[in-house]
Amino acid sequence: MRSTPARALPLSGAMNATLVDALATLLDPIDDAPTRASRLIHRIGGAGRLAVSPAGRLGATGLVSPTEASRIAAAFRFVLAALDTEPEAPVVSPERVARSVPALCTRPTEELWVVSVDVGLRPLSRDLVARAGPSVCAATPADVLRPPLLAGASGMFVLHNHPSGDPTPSEADKRFTARVSELAALAQLTLHDHVVVAGGRWASCVSDRRGRARPGVATRRS
């Protein structure tokens, strides 16, 4: 391996101190590793080229040993593979749905939302279906079914708010839920729940479950 000057090259853009320090940890501590790391990034042509350079090309610079070159190439293959893997989306539940529109609990007008999910209850989309006045939100079951059908979903959660501050489902809410569930089944969709939020709390139209609707985004916006 060739000897290198004791002075590191100036850092700018992609060749920053953090990258140099990280790369230096992959080098044998036989001399000034940060200096060699800085020179290697510069010699290769930047961090982008470094990330896709094979071990042979890294070794050809004369700045790293064959073992170090293999180590660096393997590290970048691992990082690039990890970045190419989308993290698994969180599983949707009534609690998560209740928190999926953080400001909905305190809005002065009623809104109806639909969270479409796949067979594993992972979110596919979150859609505002209807917005209305202080006491009524006119929406049809067809309006509710449209987003999950367009998303290719296997099911959905329905969410709306009560501007009154009480999340207790009304009889009209329960009738609407039953109708949506019935039509969803005909479309081979599952209505997993219909959640009502108000005053920082939530309640289910399907079961007797209730809870706190603390702010927090749980699903991806479509």
Round to whole Å and give the CA distance between 127 and 221. Answer: 7
Q: So what's the pLDDT on residue 79?
A: 73
Cα separations (Å) of 163 from 6, 21, 121, 135, 214? 69, 54, 28, 7, 17
Pairing of strands 155-161, 190-198: parallel
Give the CATH architecture of domain 94-212.
Answer: 3-Layer(aba) Sandwich (3.40)
Q: Is the pTM of this model over 0.75?
A: no
Among 132-141, 178-187, 211-220, the range of highest mean pLDDT: 178-187
- Mean of the per-residue pLDDT values of the chain: 82
CB under 8 Å to 157, separation ≥6 — which residues? 92, 94, 97, 114, 115, 117, 191, 192, 193, 194, 195
What was the pLDDT predicted at 205? 96
Q: Delimit the domains of the chain by residue range.
A: 17-83, 94-212
| Region label for 92, one of left (φ > 0), alpha (ψ between -120 and 50) or beta (otherwise) | beta
Confidence at residue 44, expressed as pLDDT on a 0 to 100 scale: 85
Looking at the predicted structure, is the pLDDT value of residue 201 above 80? yes
Q: Is 103 exposed, middle or buried (0-12, 13-18, 19+ CB in 10 A)?
A: exposed
pLDDT at 111 over 90: yes
What digits encode the pLDDT tens for the residues 139-194? 899 999 999 999 999 999 999 999 999 999 999 999 999 999 999 999 999 999 99
- Cα 22 to chain centroid distance, Å, stands at 26
pLDDT score for 80: 65
pLDDT digits (tens, 9 = 90+) for 9-54: 344 444 467 788 888 888 998 778 888 888 888 888 877 677 777 8
Q: What band does 214 get if pLDDT is binned at 50, 70 and 90?
A: low
Query: Residue 88's pLDDT is what?
Result: 55
What is the reported pLDDT for 55?
A: 87
- Please report the pLDDT score of residue 118 as a whole number: 93
